């Protein structure tokens, strides 16, 4: 049976995410080299969950799924093929420590295996950072496992820089500064 304190903790995080993301960005959709970069929509959640399971071999955390059910447009970004097929996704969230510094966290980025290795994760991350630029956020952060050279390079090439080392799990903590307008 799930323990009560965990449920309470998850519920508080869910509430925090819904509150802080309410007016985070407007919807967007743009095409580049035949691919579409777009803010998320609830109808893609099942496909995102499926691709996430394929890439990470673990389901998305339950409370996070509930965040994207309500805030796909604000916190989920999609990479689509011209026919509308899901090619990649980026998922952002707020955690209590970073939220007070106006930082959003890019918790997962995934590109479907057949589309990997052509720079799409870099473009997707750039599109995500751009979508939050000139709003009320000061930065976007991400983690790259110490052995995950692909994730590290993809973040660095998208404009993130290593600022800290996180011990548990061993990972580089990277930050992409944003221009805060209000």
Ligand X SMILES: CC(C)(COP(=O)(O)OP(=O)(O)OC[C@H]1O[C@@H](n2cnc3c(N)ncnc32)[C@H](O)[C@@H]1OP(=O)(O)O)[C@@H](O)C(=O)NCCC(=O)NCCS
Task: List contacts with ligand X (CB under 6 A).
Answer: 55, 108-111, 116-122, 149-151, 153-154, 157
Comparison of 95 and 116: residue with beta carbon closer to ligand X: 116
Residue 142: CB partners within 8 Å, gap ≥ 6? 105, 106, 107, 109, 125, 155, 160, 173, 174, 176
At 42, is the secondary structure helix, strand, or coil?
Answer: helix
Using an 8 Å Cβ cutoff, are 110 and 55 in contact? yes
The least CB distance from residue 142 to ligand X, in Å, is 7
The least CB distance from residue 156 to ligand X, in Å, is 8
Comparison of 3 and 147: residue with beta carbon closer to ligand X: 147
Comparison of 89 and 132: residue with beta carbon closer to ligand X: 89
The least CB distance from residue 149 to ligand X, in Å, is 5
Would you state the structure tokens that stand for residue 101, as one six-digit string? Answer: 């510094």
Q: Cα(110)–Cα(55) distance, rounded to whole angstroms? A: 7
């Amino acid at each position: 049976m799930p323990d009560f304190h965990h449920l309470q903790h998850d519920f508080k995080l869910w509430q925090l995410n819904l509150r802080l993301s309410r007016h985070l960005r407007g919807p967007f959709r743009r095409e580049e080299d035949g691919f579409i970069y777009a803010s998320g929509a609830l109808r893609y959640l099942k496909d995102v969950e499926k691709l996430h399971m394929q890439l990470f071999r673990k389901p998305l955390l339950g409370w996070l799924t509930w965040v994207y059910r309500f805030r796909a447009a604000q916190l989920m970004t999609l990479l689509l093929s011209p026919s509308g097929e899901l090619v990649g996704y980026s998922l952002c969230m707020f955690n209590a420590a970073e939220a007070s510094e106006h930082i959003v966290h890019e918790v997962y980025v995934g590109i479907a295996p057949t589309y990997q290795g052509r720079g799409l994760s870099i473009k997707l991350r750039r599109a995500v950072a751009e979508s939050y630029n000139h709003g009320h956020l000061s930065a976007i952060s991400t983690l790259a496992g110490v052995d995950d050279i692909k994730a590290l390079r993809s973040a660095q090439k998208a404009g993130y820089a290593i600022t800290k080392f996180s011990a548990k799990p061993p990972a580089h903590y990277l930050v992409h500064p944003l221009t805060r307008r209000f």
